[in-house]
Structures are given as C-alpha cells and as structure tokens.
C-alpha cells in the first residue's frame, strides 16, 4: 500500500501521539493533527489528506458531524472511539464512515483499518467515476439520437446518412458529435 497523507483528529494528546507514531512507523504521513472538529474542518481544506482518522467524542463539533463534512469533500474517515454500542455504529454508518476502531487502539488494528478503509473508498470512488462516465455517455447518445432524427426529418435522408453528416460536421469543426448535436437541438428550440 502506498503511504497515505493522514489528518489525525483526537482530543487526547497522548492517544494522538501514540497513533501518529503507529502511522508513521507503517510509512504513512501525518500531514496535520488537531484536537477538535472545527480545526479538523479547517485543516482538511488546507492539507487535503488522503484519509482522516478521528475520535467520535470531541469538544465542539462531534466527530460524526465532521465525518459528514468529510464525506461531502470525498475524503474517507476512520473513526476511533471508546464507544462500541450498536447505536453509535449505526450513526457512524449513516455518515459514510469507512472504518471503525475501538479504543484502546492497537497498531495492528489501526493499520488494518486504515488499509481496508482506503481500499474500500478507492473502490467506491472508482465506481462513482465509472457511473458518471456512463451517465455522460448516455446523455451524449441521447443528444446525438435527437439531432440525427432532426437531420433525417429536415433533409429526408436515412438515419445512417444523417449520422454520417453529424460525424462529418463534428470532424470539420474539430469538436465532439455530442456538441454538434447540442447545437442542432438548440437551433430547433429557438
């Protein structure tokens, strides 16, 4: 696993120092650390870490609220907490936490949680990117199909010939067929 840039958020200084040592020993980089949620939000924007490790119970904004913010910024979170009650786990699930480590934290458990959480996040991120590409492709195909129908109806030609003309126009203007299709559709709407 490649070394990760990690933001460490823990209000207990000694626990934070122990976790930093464990992470650095495993080859990761603790790019920043702090003891409360407000600082975490500021530091994540300044440092853009690969992953955040955070306590749930902290002064000010709770770790769960900060985790929700991290999710919106597309940064995976591993929660570290002394609370293992089912309702706490459910709350962590609801804010899209990728890992959960119960204190006292062992090096083996922390490093394993970081590795699994980052791998799961990468898979999820890749799936979202693929989904976005597919949506864009379908949108473009719909535009091309609509423009092809317009060309076909206006010029009284076959669908194949209309598609060929759309592609030729695209090559002449050095743009995508979807952009040409969009222009054709917009002209018809005017």
**How does pLDDT run across 130-170, given as a tens digit for each residue?**
999 999 999 999 999 999 999 999 899 999 999 999 999 99
CATH topology of domain 131-189: Arc Repressor Mutant, subunit A (1.10.10)
Contact 120, 98 (CB under 8 A): yes
**What pTM was estimated for this model as a whole?**
0.76
- Whether the CB-CB separation of 168 and 179 falls below 8 Å is answered with no
Which H/E stretch holds residue 88? helix 86-94
Query: Is residue 1's pLDDT more than 80?
Result: no
Cβ within 8 Å of residue 149, ≥6 positions away: 159, 162
| Confidence at residue 59, expressed as pLDDT on a 0 to 100 scale | 84
Nearest to 30 by CA among 52, 56, 1: 52
| C-alpha distance across the termini of the chain, in Å | 55
Instruction: Dig out the tokens for 179 from the structure.
Output: 């952009």
What average pLDDT does this structure show over 106-128? Answer: 95
Per DSSP bridges, beta strands 29-34 and 51-55 are: unpaired
For residues 86 and 137, give the distance between their C-alpha atoms in angstroms, rounded to a whole number.
42
Three-class secondary structure of residue 76 per DSSP: coil
Whether 5-105 and 131-189 share one fold: the answer is no
- Is the pLDDT score of 36 beyond 90? yes
What is the domain partition of the chain in residue ranges?
A: 5-105, 131-189
> For helices 159-172 and 177-189, what crossing angle results, to 10°?
110
CATH class of 5-105: alpha beta
């Amino acid at each position: 696993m490649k070394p990760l840039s990690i933001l460490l958020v823990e209000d207990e200084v000694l626990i934070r120092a122990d976790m930093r040592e464990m992470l650095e020993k495993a080859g990761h980089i603790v790019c920043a650390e702090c003891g409360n949620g407000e600082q975490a939000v500021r530091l994540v924007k300044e440092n853009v870490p690969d992953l955040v490790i955070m306590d749930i119970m902290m002064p000010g904004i709770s770790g769960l609220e900060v985790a929700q913010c991290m999710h919106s910024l597309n940064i995976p979170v591993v929660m570290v907490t002394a609370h293992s009650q089912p309702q706490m786990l459910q709350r962590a699930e609801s804010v899209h936490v990728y890992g959960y480590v119960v204190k006292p934290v062992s090096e083996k458990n922390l490093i394993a949680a970081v590795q699994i959480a980052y791998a799961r996040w990468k898979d999820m991120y890749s799936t979202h990117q693929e989904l976005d590409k597919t949506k864009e492709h379908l949108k473009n195909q719909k535009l091309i199909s609509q423009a092809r129908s317009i060309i076909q109806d206006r010029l009284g030609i076959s669908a194949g010939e209309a598609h060929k003309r759309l592609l030729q126009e695209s090559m002449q203007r050095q743009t995508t067929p979807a952009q040409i299709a969009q222009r054709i559709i917009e002209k018809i709407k005017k």
